[in-house]
Amino acid sequence: MVFDASSWSLTHTVQVGNARLSCMLAVTEDQVWMGSEDSVIYIISVLSMVCNRQLTDHRAEVTGLALDLDKYSHKVAYSCSAEGTVLVWDVPTLQVRKRFRLSCDRLQSVHCSNGMLWCCSRDSVMEVWRNGSLKNRVHLPDQQRGLFSAVVVLSEREELWAGFKDSADVYVWRIKDTTTPVLRLFLPDCSGCSCMIPVKNQVWIGAVGRSSAKGKVYIVDSERHQVLKELQAHSDRVTALCSAEDRYVLSGAGKHDGKIAIWKVE
């Protein structure tokens, strides 16, 4: 069943211009970082929804953002760009602590889990140590085809979920053994997904529809592995999602849409 935005907890939308958003991250209670195709990270005030700072250290499209704590419990952020660069940011000072580069076919996203980084490229998902050293690569089985576009790691379930640019399938691996997927989910009326985030006991997936080519957000029960709802509020592919304290989810779409929808989590 498709739930129209007006009937399911859409609080409001915010216009953000014509730049295509690639990723979003709630970094502090009052800041959201937004990565864009113009290689800039825009820092947005949650209260005013106005950009009050820009980070310009990347040299290619910013495709992923993640948040973690270092060994001293200091908050650090990770950002990645399409050509394979990963930057480590000190959040209070907005200074780059470290940088490294991964060898891959277009770096799509970065995620943190149990002291490891999970980096999604088009041809594989890489498990990476914090210093940039590669630990493991996850590939699709030989008989399957597809370009990875998004991943999420569910630490409590020890699962790795992956979606694909031109496919309605979502594959699930056990983190302890990533040789073969243990499950395949199907997203109805979907022609490809762009992003994923965990929210409580759900996985939210940003995608584009097949019949209408409009942006969609799928909400999947992470325990039962079932699609619960489909949300529509965008006229272009949903390219970025972020969770605010598991109470709200922000969705951003391509430049033909140019707005952010803010959803209340049920």
Q: Total structural domains in the chain?
A: 1
- Spatial strand order of the sheet with 21-28 comes to 21-28, 31-36, 41-45, 51-55
Residues 24-33 have a mean pLDDT of 90
**Average pLDDT value for residue range 124-130:** 95
- Of 83, 1, 21, 10, residue with least CA distance to 236: 21
If you search the block for the tokens 């033909």, which residue do you land on? 256
% of the chain exceeding 90 in pLDDT:
64
Q: Is the pLDDT of residue 91 over 80?
A: yes
Average pLDDT taken over every residue of the chain: 88
CATH of the domain at 167: 2.130.10.10
- What integer pLDDT is reported at residue 14 of this predicted model? 53
pLDDT for 145 equals 75
Question: Does residue 6 register a pLDDT over 50?
Answer: no
Residues 198 and 261: their CA atoms lie apart, in Å, by 17
pLDDT in tens, 35-77: 988 999 999 887 777 788 999 999 999 999 999 977 667 889 9
| pLDDT tens, residue by residue, 145-198 | 789 999 999 999 999 999 999 999 999 999 999 999 999 999 999 999 999 999
pLDDT over threshold 80, residue 144: no
Count of other CB atoms within 10 angstroms of residue 18: 10
Domain carrying residue 256: 2-264
CB within 8 Å of 215: residues ≥ 6 apart: 206, 207, 208, 209, 232, 233, 234, 235, 236, 237, 238, 251, 253, 254, 257
- Whether residue 16 is predicted with pLDDT greater than 90 in this model: the reply is no
Asked if 223 contacts 241 with a C-beta cutoff of 8 angstroms, the reply is no
**Given a cut of 90, is residue 4 above it in pLDDT?**
no
**Between residues 72 and 131, which one has the greater pLDDT?**
131
Residue 13 has pLDDT above 60, yes or no: no
